[in-house]
Amino acid sequence: MVYKRYDSFKVNSCVWIKQGIYYWGILIILGATNLNNNMSQRRKFLKQGAAAVMSLPLLSFDSQKDWSIESLKTNTPKDEAYWKMVRKQFPLKDGQTYFNNGTMGPTPGYVLDKMFDHMMHWNVEAATVDYKNGSGPELLTGYFPYEELRTKLGKIINCDFKEISLTQNATFGMNYVGMGLNLKEGDELLNTNQEHGGGFGAWRLLAQRKGCVYKMATMPEPTNDPQEIVDAIFKEVTPKTKVIAIPHIISGFGTVMPVKEICTEAKIRGIFTVLDGAQCVGQIPVDVKDIGCDAYYSSLHKWLLAPAGSGLLYINKDVVGDIWTTIASYNWDNEDDHGFRLMQNGTGNAGLMTGYDAAVDFFNIIGHDVWLGRVKELGKYLRDGLKEMKHVTFYSSTNEAMAAGITTYGVEGMSGPELQKYMWEKERLQPRSVGSKMLRHSVHIYNSKEEIDKALRLVAELG
């Protein structure tokens, strides 16, 4: 749906931000010069000052900018000029570089614009809504099947839309699967020792709640041979193993796991497979039918750059009938659309759903292969540069078949937090430290080779 733009409510964000900073600056300065006043006077002053600032227009990003994605619909080769055009689609601050997409992806301006328009429109037009006769999904989420959006997602990961549930994030997906399985005391549940909390929580809970046996396969570090991973997984498998729940990409290291080989062997042994794809959709190709997993979940606020709260869960149609509904509403027993059955969970943020849909459109405009190819290209560019430096230790895979947009490494003589601080203070580069000795460096389509060169130069200077 195209919404009427409420431009009278939109003022240039730069003006608002400057006004806010100006007034808060006055508060801080005046507050500092009145330290001798008694506490009640200072509280009164700050309260009145805060009220004055809050009377200003609400802060916003630059909503008067044209965030159209028409310019991205070019068929010309995707050279550096094209990627500079892509960079302009993000309201990231100039002079700062974001290298932490593995935690949270920045949302494109096009997506934010769609969300803001939706929220403003349906707040202004609230009285015109008859939610039973057509416009309910514009106000209430959690009760509707969103078939169009699920169909778009199905094309990205290669499945029928009825096999997809829209969730809030990967952790929700894991729990919907884990809590829905018919598990009993003594059943063995297998994770790895490199899981994100959103990848192990449900299985550890079930071990305590139902008396299942929780096990972890120890992954080699670093991992450059896929067979080593397969061997490590099946070393822990016994006739009692009922679930293998592993990451498709290891969150801390960025290692792309040989999930197809693992799922193929697990199927032969009658073991249910669940893949944590939180770091995958939007970073690497994901074809759930080719992989052969029983279930797959992802957080699209990472590499697909959707707003926070955009997740998906896939469960193969051949096994989904055995999964109990975790959060029950009207369609808790819908046998025709199991994906809808598992996702009908009450009212949420309708503006978010509009942003979710817009993020998928943004991905499709740039193109699946072009988008993923750029992530891979930049990741390899960073790794190739780091490989030339003897004082750098790789903790992620240097096998390019097992790597994409995440590279985790350390620098001799510096801790991970020190290296993160060093990059920020020197060049305003923001990767993320992991543990005490590692730096996780994520690259995405809004990054440039020039930004990566800055990071490489800083690391080289430490040698």
In order of their start, the domains of the chain are: 70-107+367-461 (3.90.1150.10), 121-364 (3.40.640.10)
Alpha carbon distance 300, 170 (integer Å): 9
The highest-confidence range among 138-147, 194-203, 387-396, by mean pLDDT, is 387-396
pLDDT at 28 over 50: no
Q: Which of 65-74, 245-254, 288-297, 358-367 has the lowest mean pLDDT?
A: 65-74
Give the side-chain half-sphere CA count within 13 A for 145: 15
Q: Which residue has the higher pLDDT, 448 or 221?
A: 448
Is 190:243 a contact under the CB 8 Å cutoff?
A: yes
Under the banding of pLDDT at 50, 70 and 90, the label for residue 130 is: confident
Q: Which of 65-79, 209-223, 363-377 has the lowest mean pLDDT?
A: 65-79
Quick one: pLDDT at residue 136? 63
Quick one: pLDDT at residue 328? 87
Instruction: Copy the structure tokens of residue 104.
Output: 């949270």
What proportion of the chain, given as a percentage, has pLDDT over 70? 84
pLDDT at 53 over 90: no
Reported as a single tens digit per residue, the pLDDT across 175-202 is 999 999 999 999 999 999 988 888 889 9
Alpha carbon distance 166, 401 (integer Å): 30
Give the side-chain half-sphere CA count within 13 A for 419: 29
Under the banding of pLDDT at 50, 70 and 90, the label for residue 378 is: very high
pLDDT at 6 over 50: no
Quick one: pLDDT at residue 332? 87
What proportion of the chain, given as a percentage, has pLDDT over 90? 69
pLDDT at 128 over 90: no
pLDDT at 431 over 60: yes
Tokens 């990205």 correspond to 156
pLDDT at 21 over 90: no
Q: Which residue has the higher pLDDT, 19 or 80?
A: 80
Mean per-residue pLDDT, 396-424 = 96
Reported as a single tens digit per residue, the pLDDT across 259-282 is 999 999 999 999 999 999 999 999
Mean per-residue pLDDT, 366-395 = 96
Alpha carbon distance 198, 379 (integer Å): 25
Alpha carbon distance 356, 363 (integer Å): 11
Q: What backbone phi and psi angles, to 5 degrees, belong to 450? A: -65, -40
β-pairing, 241-247 with 188-192?
parallel
Is 399:393 a contact under the CB 8 Å cutoff?
A: no
Q: Which of 167-181, 335-349, 432-446 has the lowest mean pLDDT?
A: 335-349
Under the banding of pLDDT at 50, 70 and 90, the label for residue 41 is: low
Q: Which residue has the higher pLDDT, 141 or 440?
A: 440
Mean per-residue pLDDT, 118-122 = 87
pLDDT at 40 over 70: no
